């Protein structure tokens, strides 16, 4: 009877040791796996919140948090942060588990249904790709231009907004194993609140 317990004990210890060894080996080969095991807390500021984010997204979002904690805010700098965070949140879908569209909180409220439709089509297109390669690993604001922006709805369903203070923020960015992409995000202010109205390649 004693030998049986000894054998069971040795087997159990060996099983635990092997599990620990292979787990540590897996983490060493793929350090990002720990992010999926231990979920990060959401990043939140004002009306902006992201639940899942990569290290690069975290760095850029935290710069926005630091900026909003500053007493000397300007519309131009605000537009830069909104545009940068919008682009990363929308186009990085490496952590998306479904077709939930990211970055909706940055969009002008009446345009959200159309944005969700556009985003759904884009995310369905991306579904054919390896999501690991759809992580944005680098990004940089390369130009900012102040403009007067007129929003006129082609469908005549949303009231026009004319002569808005706005900024066209150009951002270069890269996916893993991908050439450089360049997009220009238009951020316009309504009642001093910044909204994303347009994205162009």
pLDDT digits (tens, 9 = 90+) for 123-138: 988 888 888 899 999 9
Residue 179 has pLDDT above 70, yes or no: yes
- Render the burial of 124-156: b for 16+ CB within 10 Å, e for the rest: eeeeeeeeeebbbbebebeebeeeebebeeeee
pLDDT the model gives residue 84: 98
Q: 0.85 cut: is pTM over it? A: no
Sign of CA dihedral 106, 82, 197, 136: negative
Residue 120 has pLDDT above 70, yes or no: yes
Pair 189, 198: CB distance under 8 Å? no
* Strand arrangement of the beta sheet that strand 136-151 belongs to: 136-151, 161-175, 181-190, 193-200
User: Three-class SS of residue 53?
Assistant: coil
Residue 24 has pLDDT above 60, yes or no: no
pLDDT the model gives residue 47: 87
pLDDT the model gives residue 113: 95
Q: Give the C-alpha separation, 52 to 70, whole Å.
A: 25
pLDDT the model gives residue 46: 87
What distance, in Å, lies between the first and last C-alpha atoms of the chain?
Answer: 75
Residue 34 has pLDDT above 50, yes or no: no
Compute the average pLDDT of residues 31-57.
79
Residue 6 CB coordination number (10 Å): 9
Residue 31: enclosing H or E segment and its boundaries?
A: none
Pair 168, 82: CB distance under 8 Å? no
pLDDT the model gives residue 96: 82
Residue 30 has pLDDT above 70, yes or no: no
pLDDT the model gives residue 194: 97
Least confident of 30-44, 45-59, 67-81, 110-124: 30-44
pLDDT the model gives residue 3: 65
**32 pLDDT band (50/70/90 cuts)?**
low
């Amino acid at each position: 009877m004693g030998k049986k317990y000894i054998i069971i004990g040795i087997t159990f210890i060996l099983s635990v040791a092997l599990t620990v060894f292979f787990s540590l080996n897996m983490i060493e080969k793929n350090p990002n796996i720990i992010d999926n095991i231990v979920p990060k807390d959401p990043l939140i500021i004002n009306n902006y919140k992201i639940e899942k984010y990569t290290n690069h997204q975290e760095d850029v979002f935290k710069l926005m948090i630091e900026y909003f904690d500053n007493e000397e805010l300007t519309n131009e700098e605000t537009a830069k942060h909104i545009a940068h965070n919008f682009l990363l949140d929308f186009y990085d879908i490496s952590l998306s588990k479904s077709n939930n569209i990211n970055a909706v909180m940055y969009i002008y409220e009446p345009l959200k249904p159309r944005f969700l439709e556009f985003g759904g089509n884009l995310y369905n297109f991306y579904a054919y790709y390896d999501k690991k390669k759809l992580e944005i690993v680098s990004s940089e604001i390369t130009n900012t231009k102040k403009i007067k922006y007129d929003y006129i709805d082609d469908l005549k369903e949303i009231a026009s907004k004319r002569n808005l203070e706005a900024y066209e923020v150009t951002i270069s960015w890269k996916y893993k194993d991908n050439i450089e992409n360049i997009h220009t995000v238009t951020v316009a202010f309504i009642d001093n609140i910044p909204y994303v109205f347009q994205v162009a390649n």
